[in-house]
Structure 1
Amino acid sequence: MGKIAFVFPGQGAQAVGMGKDAYDGNAASRDVFDRADSALGFSISKLSFEGPEEELRQTANTQPALLATSIALLEAYKSQGVKPDFVAGHSLGEYSALVAAGVLGFEDAIRLVRARGQFMEQAVPSGQGAMAAVLGAERDALAALCADVTANVGTVELANVNCPGQIVVSGSTAGVAEIGNRGKEAGAKRVIPLEVSGPFHSSLMKPAADRLASELAKVVFNDAAVPVVANVNARPVTSGEELRKLLALQVVSPVQWEDTIKWLISEGVDTFVEIGSGTVLSGLIKKTDKSVQAIPVNTAAAAAGAVTQ
């Protein structure tokens, strides 16, 4: 019998209406959204279920909305009795993974991601930072190109190493634009600018990381009940104190998602259960290794009837 990993999506997976069927049909899911509204002091559930989309897309709203949706679906899925051997989350999704592993209390997590979103939005003045998806490039060649562009034009760094052939870069507007011009040098077939409110997972996010670190210091971090495979180093961590440090570092570091999935597969994971809005991670996992199973739990019906073995 292979091992199971629960994985949780991050920003970009949001959609108006997410979590509503779970809220309507499952008491434990409803409780999660009610607790989220209470902890935040406004109705993140109404924003998730009804929009408007422009408001839901604001980073400071997107992050708590996605966390609440993932944990609401996790609560619904618990009726299946499936226990993960590992958990991991993509960027913001790491907070959902930490709640799932018992490291963070839900209310603490939702307040942290609200603050994290605000700090990330405020870290770099509007228009001065950008991100782009680079398709088809080789990782080392793209890293070398980023270093050259950073030295000569403006900061640009690897931000999300998602799967073979899909890497997101982040940095100054000029630096990211230059990767668009020169991407072919690293083997890129296409460079697609992303609609984001800042250069996430780059060194330009240091002001956000510093402010987040002081918020993280106020919150209790328990040791993990199951290993959390961290974005920063794609390695399993159970120490609450180490996970606290990694969350601050995560804001200015690349998300090592491809390496996370490869490490989990090397440890015998053959079933990935993606819990939250959309199917983004299932797609990335299949692009990394077609032989594993990726099961999206993105509706109440999926949570009630997801096949696991």
Structure 2
Amino acid sequence: MDIKTASVALIFAGQGNPTIGMGADLWDINNTTKAIWDCASDISGTDIRRVCLKGPMNKLVQTTNQQVAVTAINATLYALCRDRLDEARITGSCGHSVGEYAALYAAGAVTLDDLFRMIHFRSRLMDELSKVNKGAMQAVKGIDYSSMAALIADSGIGVDISCDNSRRQQVIGGTVVALREMTEVLMAQGIETTKLGVSGAWHTRLMDDGVQQMRDFLANIAIQTPQHEVLMNVTGEPVTDPAEIKENLALHLTHTVKWTASMMRFLSQPSPVTFVEVSNKAYLGHMLNDFDGFSPTMALHCRKLSDTHGDL
């Protein structure tokens, strides 16, 4: 594929893969990157640079820190590659879980200050709910959404599908006890599971009490019509109306991340598409290997944008 003629789809990472030192090569590159990390620290009230650099891991993994850190990295990497992208060729953007907020920022729907205000509120709300309704999440490999949903229904175990990542990977969430029971069911069928490095059961019923609180907070945030399509997690479809965007961000707390639907929409476009992954470390591009019609030449990590391929 000629990446200089293909449309560009920006895909932004979420949390779940924190590493000590992440972002350390980004925050002091220029005045723009410094401003992003200053904004993240000022609004969150945490020296997010220090948390990323020093940890400890049990602090970095806390959603109040991890969400801010991931968003700072996403916003910084986007700022660094923005000038090398032909914006006219950006067909859309999509962010996985908390990455959805960076996707909206990249589309000009929210300001930098409001981006971090939303992340700060969201992460604190989710952290509070996770302490009341304790839970965890596990990745499940080798299974599609329908099969996973059927297994859950047949078992009667109270877990939810948090993320429909691909036709070969789901993420489930629930209480520790429920996840243990579901893991036994999956293991009996030879299905592999991996615990995720998060501090709660995101996108599940355990977050239900936060939906109205999120609605109330977002009522005071100015969201503009995106400058390009943003495929939202709740629907897997592009949404342009600011009021509908806000509602989806509120429902986002309890609804499945429909990543499969979003990626299939990009792949079904009549013109070729190049996926530019915006993340600390590539993993969203790897998941695309599970999709029909995708080849590795269609994905590019933002860190390689300038040194490997030049302008897009």
- Give the TM-score, by structure 1 length: 0.90
Q: Are the aligned partners of 1:26 and 1:76 in contact in 2 as well (CA < 8 Å)?
A: no
Q: How does 1:203-242 map to 2 (within 5 A)?
A: 203-242=205-244
Q: How does 1:56-71 map to 2 (within 5 A)?
A: 56-71=60-75
1:257 to partner: Cα distance: 0.9
- Aligned partner of 1:256 in structure 2 is 258
- Aligned partner of 2:57 in structure 1 is 53
Q: Are the aligned partners of 1:126 and 1:197 in contact in 2 as well (CA < 8 Å)?
A: no
- Aligned partner of 1:113 in structure 2 is 119
Post-superposition CA distance 1:162-214 (Å, at most 9, x none): 122111111222322222111267x6521223343211111221112222222
- Aligned partner of 1:178 in structure 2 is 181
Deviates more, 1:261-270 or 1:125-134: 125-134
Post-superposition CA distance 1:257-300 (Å, at most 9, x none): 122111111124521111121112111123323355211124xx
1:126 to partner: Cα distance: 6.5
Give the secondary-structure state (helix, strand or coil) at the position aligned to 2:75: helix
Aligned-pair Cα RMSD in Å: 2.1
Give the secondary-structure state (helix, strand or coil) at the position aligned to 1:94: helix
**Corresponding position: 1:28 with 2:32:** yes
**Percent same amino acid at aligned positions?**
28
Match 1:296 to one of 295, 301, 304: 301
- Aligned partner of 2:276 in structure 1 is 273
| 2: CA distance, partners of 1:138 / 1:36 | 36
Post-superposition CA distance 1:134-188 (Å, at most 9, x none): 1112421210221233x4x4x2111111122111111222322222111267x65
- Give the TM-score, by structure 2 length: 0.89
Q: Are the aligned partners of 1:19 and 1:69 in contact in 2 as well (CA < 8 Å)?
A: yes
| Structure 2: gaps of 5 or more residues | none
| Structure 1: gaps of 5 or more residues | none
Q: Give aligned pairs, total.
A: 302
- Aligned partner of 1:13 in structure 2 is 17
Q: Are the aligned partners of 2:15 and 2:198 in contact in 1 as well (CA < 8 Å)?
A: no
Q: How does 1:140-151 map to 2 (within 5 A)?
A: 140-149=146-155, 151=156
4+ runs deviating over 6 angstroms: none
Match 2:196 to one of 194, 197, 200: 194
| 2: CA distance, partners of 1:7 / 1:221 | 20
Give the secondary-structure state (helix, strand or coil) at the position aligned to 1:272: strand
1:92 to partner: Cα distance: 0.3
1:221 to partner: Cα distance: 0.8
1:127 to partner: Cα distance: 7.8
Q: Are the aligned partners of 1:230 and 1:237 in contact in 2 as well (CA < 8 Å)?
A: yes
Q: Are the aligned partners of 2:81 and 2:305 in contact in 1 as well (CA < 8 Å)?
A: yes
Letter in 2 for 1:134: V
Letter in 2 for 1:159: S
Match 1:88 to one of 70, 87, 94: 94
Deviates more, 1:33-42 or 1:82-91: 33-42
Post-superposition CA distance 1:46-105 (Å, at most 9, x none): 322333322111101100111111111111112214322201000000000011011111
